[in-house]
Chain A
Amino acid sequence: MQDGREPSNEKQDRVRRLIADALDYSGIVDHSGVSVRTKLVDEGCPVELTDLRIDSLAIMEACIYLEGNSGLLIEPATFQKVSSLGQLVDLIVRQLP
């Protein structure tokens, strides 16, 4: 971890749920058109971005949702720094107080 702390599972779970909400809001689904909420939240899978039907507009909308509903300021460019939703969760958890 960047600051030496182990993020709590509670934080991880909260962020996973938040990201799942943002994905559902922005219409980001897997290639079969199905929400990845179960994989991400219930099963704790990392979910590779390449397994998602995702485009720049949907990423913008997901970031808008995250900022509007949780105050988390994640910019679209952040998605270019990660290869999976699991990595995105870790990155966000590290930013939480």
Chain B
Amino acid sequence: MIDDYRQRAARCESVNAWNKLHIDIENELIPQDIVELHDAARLFAQPPLRLRSRAWARRLYKMYSMAAKDIAEPFVATRLNDYVSAYTLTGRDAAPQNLLVCFTGNGGRLMMPVAVFLQHLDAGSTDVVVIRKQRGSSYQDGLPGLSASLSETYDVVSSLMPHRGEGYQRRFVLGTSAGGLPAVLAAVRWGFDRAVAVGAGSIGDPRWAVKGVAHFAEQFADARATSAHTTFLAVHGDIEADQNNAMELHALVGGERRCVPVPEHNCLYPLVQAGTLLNFVDEVLAGGR
């Protein structure tokens, strides 16, 4: 990991190239990598590694540390294809207690680097699947090479889940930003227990009617008929557009709505900074019982 980082860093010739490197790598990390990067970066003596890498690794480690755990959560990443990764413990035969499937926003993140989010979970009790859409496209377009529509994406992801999604006591879907509405629909399509949409888009977004596919509300109603037990939580920052979107969603699907009192779309990141993301995760995983 460290050697790979050094090699890629050596090719960076602009601020944008450095940013791209760090964004790309953040999407590849597991919690233990953050610790190793942080330790290694402290020894980088020559510029520009000394400046750029140290600052980046310090920032990542600070976010990681806000989970206040003595060790890194021992998730191991399995890249199932270009867009879907699983994070589990190795060598576990039976499904653990929880399965959490996540639809990321545009940057392939969950309003924070995925590894930071994972550090706030319990690897012993939770398997995680993370879905990243192609940059600049929407989930409704499907995942290039894998699926031609969101509906097909649901089928593909379902077939890739650890233990084929069976044997878990509780199954959840979390979606942030552009992943919010796809998460809600996924939960009812898969018959999961709970969907949490954070900073979701508008249910009136016309992209839900592309290619002759029904609007979100129609698709939701169809799926809901066979999955009445799924519960919902809509979370939003304290900004008007996201609040309106969450209120519309809440009016359609029911469940709970919660405002994080920060004036930001990326309303989970302030929870990391405040050291309260653990509480949020516990609430998400405990909710809807």
- Taking Cβ atoms with an 8 Å cutoff, the residues of A that contact B are 24-27, 31-34, 53, 55, 57-58, 60-61, 63-64, 66-68, 73-76
Query: Given that A33-B201, A33-B202, A73-B14 are known contacts, is A27 also in contact with B20, CB under 8 Å in the complex?
Result: no
Contact call B265/A55, Cβ cutoff below 8 A: yes
Cα–Cα, bound, A54→B128 (Å)? 28
Nearest-CB residue, chain A, relative to B24: A64
Q: Please tell me if B109 contacts chain A, counting CB pairs below 8 Å.
A: yes
Partner of A73, one of B16, B135, B202: B16
Q: Which of B173-199 contact A (CB under 8 A)?
A: 177-178
Cα–Cα, bound, A73→B202 (Å)? 34
Encode contact with A along B204-248: 1 for CB under 8 Å, 0 otherwise.
010000000000000000000000000000000001110001000
Encode contact with A along B4-34: 1 for CB under 8 Å, 0 otherwise.
0000000000111101100100000000000
Q: Please tell me if B165 contacts chain A, counting CB pairs below 8 Å.
A: no
- Taking Cβ atoms with an 8 Å cutoff, the residues of B that contact A are 14-17, 19-20, 23, 105-107, 109, 135-136, 177-178, 201-202, 205, 239-241, 245, 264-266
- Looking at the assembled complex, report how far the CB atom of B201 sits from the nearest CB atom of chain A, in whole angstroms: 4
Contact call A63/B107, Cβ cutoff below 8 A: no
Contact call B178/A76, Cβ cutoff below 8 A: no
Contact call B107/A75, Cβ cutoff below 8 A: no
- Looking at the assembled complex, report how far the CB atom of A55 sits from the nearest CB atom of chain B, in whole angstroms: 6
22 inter-chain pairs at a CB distance below 8 angstroms, sorted by A residue, are A24-B136, A26-B107, A26-B136, A27-B135, A27-B136, A31-B240, A32-B202, A33-B178, A33-B202, A33-B205, A33-B241, A33-B245, A53-B265, A60-B20, A61-B23, A63-B19, A64-B16, A64-B19, A64-B23, A66-B16, A67-B17, A68-B16
Q: Is the interface of A mostly helix, strand, loop or mixed?
A: helix
Cα–Cα, bound, A90→B12 (Å)? 28
Contact call B239/A31, Cβ cutoff below 8 A: yes
Find chain B residues with CB under 8 A from A32 CB. Answer: 202, 205, 241
Find chain A residues with CB under 8 A from B105 CB. Answer: 27
- Looking at the assembled complex, report how far the CB atom of A95 sits from the nearest CB atom of chain B, in whole angstroms: 15
Partner of B136, one of A25, A34, A57, A68: A25
Cα–Cα, bound, A55→B265 (Å)? 9
Cα–Cα, bound, A60→B14 (Å)? 12
Contact call A27/B14, Cβ cutoff below 8 A: no
Cα–Cα, bound, A61→B241 (Å)? 23
Find chain A residues with CB under 8 A from B17 CB. Answer: 64, 67
- Looking at the assembled complex, report how far the CB atom of B239 sits from the nearest CB atom of chain A, in whole angstroms: 7
Nearest-CB residue, chain B, relative to A53: B265
Report which residue of A53, A66, A74, A76 has the largest number of chain B beta carbons within 10 angstroms of its beta carbon. A53
Contact call B241/A75, Cβ cutoff below 8 A: no
Nearest-CB residue, chain B, relative to A34: B205
Report which residue of B16, B17, B105, B178 has the largest number of chain A beta carbons within 10 angstroms of its beta carbon. B16
Query: Given that A25-B135, A61-B107, A61-B135 are known contacts, is A76 also in contact with B19, CB under 8 Å in the complex?
Result: yes
Find chain A residues with CB under 8 A from B264 CB. Answer: 55
Cα–Cα, bound, A63→B202 (Å)? 27
Cα–Cα, bound, A32→B243 (Å)? 11
- Looking at the assembled complex, report how far the CB atom of B25 sits from the nearest CB atom of chain A, in whole angstroms: 13
Contact call A57/B23, Cβ cutoff below 8 A: yes
Find chain A residues with CB under 8 A from B245 CB. Answer: 33
Contact call A57/B107, Cβ cutoff below 8 A: yes
